[in-house]
């Protein structure tokens, strides 16, 4: 039998960076463990060495930076749900956090883990996509920022280098005159991975849609935006005919698959229905 995996549990970011820089190959970063431990328990995670970042206090906390909220990577779903800053400035993110698993998962799962795990079904990710969030990445070499919408290179692939950690995500605040909503459709309310997950954000003046962004999960290899549908709606007066056209277009624009959670047909139909619901609410 192979030796059980080892783990480092540094308390500072500098120590975490040093460990990553010294051992690039094969080390896996673990935060709240709600995804990785499932794989480990199923013997589906062949890592021999782990970097446990749970104790790195520099990765916690939600800060008001004026136009944006800076949310530390180790912020748990429970932290998001309880945060007055999130409730006030990005309520859709709190709504997304409330749909993750149940309390046991919300108390451990983190927004950084949701981002890095790179599942197309990650519940907070459509919000980050719709809000044009920015991912702050760090290593012993320094820090850099990457647009969330450019963070994924493909199915379950990110642009993170082997020595890098996600430090935080910056989410622009909802502004006056803007509206955002979050929708998740799963088999049941708790403990369900989504069939479809959507976050939409729009600025409307009178009946005219000045700007709109739509983030979608579980309909493509990564969380995606719907640029064709966004373009159709932008600058237009919201009429029932326009809403119907947008609903038809987004059903064609997404690229879902049939898998054990749902079917391609259902996912296209529900994506259209969720957009119609969002537009009706405006």
Partner 1 sequence: MRVVFEVNGRRREAEAPPMRRLLDVLREDLRLTGTKEGCGEGECGACSVLLDGEVVNACLIPVCQAQGTAVVTVEGLARDSRLDLLQQAFLECGGTQCGICTPGMLIAARALLDANPRPTRDEIKEAIAGNLCRCTGYVKIIDAIAQAAGPSLTGT
Q: How far is CA 164 from CA 161, 176, 267, in A?
A: 5, 36, 35
Q: What is the smallest separation between the CB atom of 137 and partner 1, expressed in angstroms?
A: 23
Residue whose CB is less far from partner 1, 10 or 126: 10
Residue 224 is encoded by which pair of tokens?
A: 């995606």
Q: What is the smallest separation between the CB atom of 190 and partner 1, expressed in angstroms?
A: 4
The residue among 92, 5, 15 whose CA lies nearest residue 45 is 5
Which spans of this chain sit near partner 1 (rule: CB under 8 A)? 4-7, 9, 30, 32-34, 37-38, 40-42, 50, 52, 54, 78, 101-105, 107-108, 189-191
The residue among 39, 23, 277 whose CA lies nearest residue 163 is 23
CB neighbour list of residue 70: distance below 8 Å, 6 or more residues apart: 62, 63, 136, 168, 169, 170
Q: What is the rounded CA–CA span in Å between residue 97 and residue 32?
A: 14
Q: What is the rounded CA–CA span in Å between residue 249 and residue 262?
A: 21
Q: What is the smallest separation between the CB atom of 94 and partner 1, expressed in angstroms?
A: 15
Residue whose CB is less far from partner 1, 170 or 195: 195
Residue whose CB is less far from partner 1, 15 or 52: 52
Residue whose CB is less far from partner 1, 89 or 108: 108
Residue whose CB is less far from partner 1, 78 or 236: 78
Residue 115 is encoded by which pair of tokens?
A: 């981002």
Q: What is the smallest separation between the CB atom of 40 and partner 1, expressed in angstroms?
A: 7
Q: What is the smallest separation between the CB atom of 97 and partner 1, expressed in angstroms?
A: 14
Phi, psi of 16 (to 5 degrees): -65, -45
């Amino acid at each position: 039998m192979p030796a059980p995996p080892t783990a480092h549990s540094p308390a500072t970011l500098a120590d975490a960076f040093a460990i990553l820089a010294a051992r690039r190959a094969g080390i896996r970063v673990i935060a709240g463990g709600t995804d990785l431990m499932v794989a480990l328990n199923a013997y589906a995670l062949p890592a021999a060495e782990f970097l446990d970042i749970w104790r790195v206090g520099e990765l916690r906390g939600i800060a008001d930076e004026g136009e944006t909220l800076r949310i530390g990577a180790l912020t748990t779903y429970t932290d998001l749900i309880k945060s007055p800053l999130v409730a006030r400035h990005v309520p859709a993110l709190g709504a997304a956090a409330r749909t993750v698993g149940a309390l046991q998962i919300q108390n451990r799962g983190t927004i950084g883990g949701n981002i890095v795990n790179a599942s197309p079904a990650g519940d907070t990710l459509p919000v980050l996509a719709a809000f044009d969030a920015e991912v702050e990445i760090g290593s012993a070499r320094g820090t850099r920022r990457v647009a969330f919408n450019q963070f994924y290179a493909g199915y379950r692939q990110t642009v993170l280098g082997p020595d890098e950690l996600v430090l935080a995500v910056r989410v622009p605040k909802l502004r006056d005159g803007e509206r955002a909503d979050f929708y998740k459709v799963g088999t049941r309310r708790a403990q369900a991975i989504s069939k479809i997950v959507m976050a939409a954000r729009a600025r409307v003046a009178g009946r005219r849609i000045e700007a709109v962004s739509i983030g979608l999960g579980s309909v493509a290899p990564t969380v995606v935006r719907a640029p064709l549908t966004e373009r159709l709606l932008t600058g237009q007066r919201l009429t029932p005919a326009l809403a119907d056209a947008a609903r038809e277009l987004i059903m064609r624009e997404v690229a879902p698959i049939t898998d054990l959670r749902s079917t391609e047909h259902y996912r296209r139909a529900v994506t259209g229905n969720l957009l119609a619901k969002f537009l009706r609410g405006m």
